[in-house]
A and B are shown apart, each in its own frame.
Chain A
Amino acid sequence: MNFRDHFAQTAATVETLTRNGETSLTNYYGERSDFLRFNKSAVRQPGSVTDIDVTVDLIAGKRRTSTSVRLTGTKDEDATRLHHAVAGARTALDGAPDDPHLAFSREPRSSEHVAQAAMPSKAQAVDAIMRTGKGRDMVGIYAAGRVAYGFANNLGQRNWHESDSFNLDWCFYYAADKAVKANYAGVDWNDRELDRIAGDAAKTLPLLSRPVKTIPPGGYRAYLAPSALHEIWSWLGWGAFGIANHRTRATPFLRAIDGTGELDRHVTVKENTAEGLAPGFQADGFVKPPCVNLLSGGAYADCLISPRSAVEYGVKTNGANEGELPQSIDMAGGTLARDRVLKELGTGVYISNLWYMNYSDRNNGRVTGLTRFASMWVENGEIVAPLGVMRLDDSIYRFFGSELEGLTAERDFIIDPASYGRRSVDSMRLPGALVGDFRFTL
């Protein structure tokens, strides 16, 4: 399947079906993925998915409707499906009320991003996992292949974003809930690089064989590795930075906005589209700026503003997606050298991963969640024992504010392995964080 040619053909078909006085917006998603799920170093569910999902928005005057349809890659069948989709959208338009927040790009800005690469064959993928898991308890998922996003309208705009990538996301388990999490993601598969990452991860396994350290609830010095911060930002990003969250006073950064809560001045976070993996355009045809400052020097800065919200709140859009969620979070690093983290931590908790974040009190930026995988108890700069699972309950104004002692200079680029409906194109670039007092409750 050549998604690019198929997109061009789809856009042309929709344009032909669009009548005078109508505007059509076509959003195209193509995916060809291999998924290889494994457990206990054996194959659990191997398979492939080929998917083409096209959404046509039809606009007449101030009315708009949206119709999505799966296409097949077969010319005649797809032409028939698009004809029915557009005809159905036109019928729906007849009864639709005016949309007071109607917004779409009227100034064509076309773009193209193509990053093709050779992916491992089915046999290579299975062999690599069998080799890596040999003698170990390895569980996880390998996902690889092409995803393609396209936007077209009948004003002549065409945007195309196509990339090939792989993401091998797994754990080596010691026993029960004690495991080391690892990930190998990228575009150029290299067996030796996989072996290196797997070898590094395996070095932690002997530490997990030590008796588990159980600590009572309370405040502890803590180091949060980049993968732990990834869990925090994945949660906070959901509802923190959209202008709708800001204007309806639903963001967890409410106290920072009102001036009743302070973040540390070293906390700087931006939506870095230029260095992320997500497309640089959105579903209404607006092109995203390279960067939007979300938190700057500890202060709440700019919001992500979708075209609809821009009309609703009378501001200018910055090309955010409909949900106003960040896709390419970039948190500035600090001066703490990663190889000094344990020494600087002294005695406390090394949190490799967090899990299942949510709110204890959203107005106060208070969140909860749990330690996971190879989180460790550290004494005098040395790892002593794996940590029994602990529940945190603390505020962003403490761990990103009064209790933040430092951010690492080195940052990790974390490619989201999620695949709800589609393979994610989200990513984050994050440091680790040293926190003077981190609260656990259970």
Chain B
Amino acid sequence: MLESIERAFAGAVPAGVACSLRVERTIEERFTVRRNAAEPQRRRLNTGAMVTVEHNEGLGYSATTDLSAAGLRRAVDDAKDWAEVSSGRMVAGLGANGFTSARGRYETQENKGWNDIPPTEKLRLLGELSRRLKAGDRIVDWGAGLHHTNTESLLLTTAGGRIHQETKVLVPTLFVVASAGGQTQRRSFGDSRIGQGGFDLMETMGLLDAPERLSREALLLVEAPECPDANMDLVVGPDQMVLQIHESIGHPLELDRILGDERNYAGTSFVTPDMFGSYRYGSELLNVTFDPAHPDEAASYAFDDEGTPAHKAYLIRNGILERPLGGASSQRRANLPGVANARACEWNRPPMDRMANLNIEPGASTFEQLIVQVERGVFVETNFAWSIDDSRNKFQFGCEWGQLIEDGRLTKVVRNPNYRGISAGFWRSLKGVGGPDTYAVGGATMCGKGEPNQAIRVGHATPACLFGAVEVFGGGQ
């Protein structure tokens, strides 16, 4: 199919018009078992293309499902019409930058191929996991699922660019809900479990061993006391660190936010262009990288959707802010360095600055060495609720699981553990970074942003971290 589209595109662009074509073919499959009943298998084939034209210092795009020669010609004409009416009216720095001439290829490496496992085996496995979750009458809801996405994309440009990439992403889910009296508590494998690879990710993520533990913990939470309201130390497990990084480092560092594009919807940023190179974002223990080459992470790739080659870069080094999350277009607009992070969620939305893989580099402490430092605190795990202001400063997170830390030891379980703070100061209270034994690869499956709206997958790999003097609180009326 891609070869015929390549020929059609070559014939669809009028001479002298700068143009790109981004074709995507996605196959999504979902298997779900809820309350021991298999739901209908869902398969989604999604093929389409976006044509982008730069003409007379204007810019326009047109997205279509019709990939015939005639369909692509119509899309080119449509995009060119937009470029003409926007000529001279574009945001400064856009409309006359040309398109990439890069050529290359990327493909996810699978150890055990998704398609090598028959659907009946996938359902059998989910059925077994589901049955293991139902541990008594107090378990009122439970389920297991697999969501696999295979995306093949081809970026062609009139500058000679040709980039062919294929990614395979797996999202396993597992949840259990326990209820007694007026208290309902959920324990899950976490919405942050997402990775790039084959069916073997199920094993490396630990899904197969999780059901009994999750049920036991949900039942414990129903009977547990509320998390105390206090200012104390906080140890954050990697599956909650994912959200902490995402909301209070990732989003504020997006360069298009800093440039104001998102102010009507996803918000602005407390970070300003003058901060790069000198601002102390966190303690000296904080090292944050953009790493598109991490083999297991959800948003690994060789080129972003504008065709910029992707390489690892430090955004924050030893606590000092170095560079934003900005793709080539935003870098030109802001005159700042950036990374290759211009991404679109699918063929019918244009690229913009996204997180891709945004990670905290591991330190040297074991989990026990983090805990033993704490005289009075709480350990939290698995995000349940998240909220942050439109400048990405005042945040609040709630977790499924909490456990008190007293005199350097994990003690009793507490429910509804929440904490709140302000990004600008919170990361400076980082006083312990876990080593490789606490490190986990995860991400966010539905990062929302942009107008028109886009939800995209991002990766976050992180160790557990220790923060000092955090405002922690529990539930109640």
Contact = CB atoms under 8 A, between A and B. Distances in A.
Interface of A: 33, 35, 37, 39-40, 42-53, 57, 64-74, 77, 81, 85, 88-89, 92, 95-97, 99-101, 122-123, 126, 130, 139-141, 143, 169-171, 173, 176-177, 179, 181, 244, 247-250, 254-255, 258, 260, 312, 355-364, 366, 368-370, 372, 389, 391, 393, 395, 397, 418-421, 423, 441-442
11 contacts: A39-B263, A46-B60, A46-B61, A47-B61, A51-B63, A66-B40, A312-B35, A358-B385, A360-B396, A370-B388, A393-B396
B94 interface: yes
A49 B263 contact: no
Contact of B123 (A44, A97, A369): A97
B82 A48 contact: yes
Given A355-B267, A356-B388, 13 more contacts: A35-B452, A44-B90, A46-B85, A48-B63, A53-B46, A65-B41, A67-B42, A70-B47, A71-B65, A244-B141, A360-B473, A364-B476, A420-B455
Chain B CB count within 10 A is highest, among A64, A123, A423, A442, for A442
B40 A40 contact: no
Contacts of A254: 182, 184
Contacts of A247: 140
A358 B387 contact: yes
A96 B65 contact: no
B66 A64 contact: no
A150 B94 CA distance: 39
A397 B41 contact: no
A302 to B, nearest CB: 21
B89 A43 contact: yes
Contacts of B390: 177, 355-356, 370, 372, 389
B387 A369 contact: yes
Contact of A126 (B47, B64, B89, B452): B89
A249 B68 contact: no
B162 to A, nearest CB: 23
Contact of A360 (B79, B85, B418): B418
B418 to A, nearest CB: 6
Contacts of B78: 48
Interface residues of B, number: 89
B301 to A, nearest CB: 21
A42 B89 contact: yes
A255 B475 CA distance: 14
Nearest to A251: B184
Nearest to A53: B46
Contacts of A49: 62-64, 348, 452
Interface of B: 35, 37-48, 50, 52, 58-68, 71, 78-79, 81-82, 85-86, 89-92, 94, 118-120, 123, 140-141, 177, 179, 182-184, 186, 259-261, 263-265, 267-268, 348, 350, 352, 384-391, 393-394, 396, 398, 416, 418, 420, 422, 448, 451-455, 471, 473-477
Given A52-B65, A170-B264, A249-B179, A47 B455 contact: no
A248 B471 CA distance: 31
A42 B90 contact: yes
A126 B398 CA distance: 43
A95 B37 contact: no
B66 to A, nearest CB: 4
Contacts of B263: 39, 139, 171, 173, 179
Contacts of B184: 248-250, 254, 362-363
Given A65-B43, A66-B41, A357-B387, A39 B259 contact: yes
Contact of A99 (B37, B45, B64, B393): B37
Contact of A418 (B45, B453, B474): B453
A68 B44 CA distance: 4
A33 B384 CA distance: 35
Contact of B477 (A35, A39, A366, A441): A366
Nearest to A67: B43
Contacts of A356: 387-390
Contacts of A421: 455
B122 to A, nearest CB: 10
A441 to B, nearest CB: 7
Contacts of A45: 59, 61, 350, 352
Contacts of B46: 53, 68, 70
B477 to A, nearest CB: 5
A228 to B, nearest CB: 14
A316 to B, nearest CB: 20
A354 to B, nearest CB: 10
A250 B177 CA distance: 8
A184 B136 CA distance: 53
A258 B182 contact: yes
Contact of B387 (A66, A97, A368): A368
Contact of A73 (B65, B182, B388, B452): B65
Contact of A395 (B66, B68, B477): B477
A420 to B, nearest CB: 4
Contacts of B183: 363
A95 B118 contact: yes
A420 B346 CA distance: 11
Contacts of B45: 67-70, 81, 85
**9 residue pairs, one from A and one from B, having the closest CB atoms:** A361-B475, A47-B61, A141-B451, A419-B452, A248-B141, A140-B264, A68-B44, A358-B385, A64-B40
A372 B265 CA distance: 11
B82 A419 contact: no
B85 A370 contact: no
A365 B42 CA distance: 34
A363 B65 contact: no
Contacts of A39: 91, 259-261, 263
A370 B389 CA distance: 6
A124 B350 CA distance: 22
A359 to B, nearest CB: 5
Given A70-B65, A74-B66, A177 B391 contact: yes
A364 B475 contact: yes
A355 B66 contact: no
Contact of A364 (B37, B64, B123, B477): B477
B61 A48 contact: yes
B82 A122 contact: yes
B259 A46 contact: no
Contacts of A74: 66, 68, 71
Nearest to B120: A95
Contacts of B386: 358
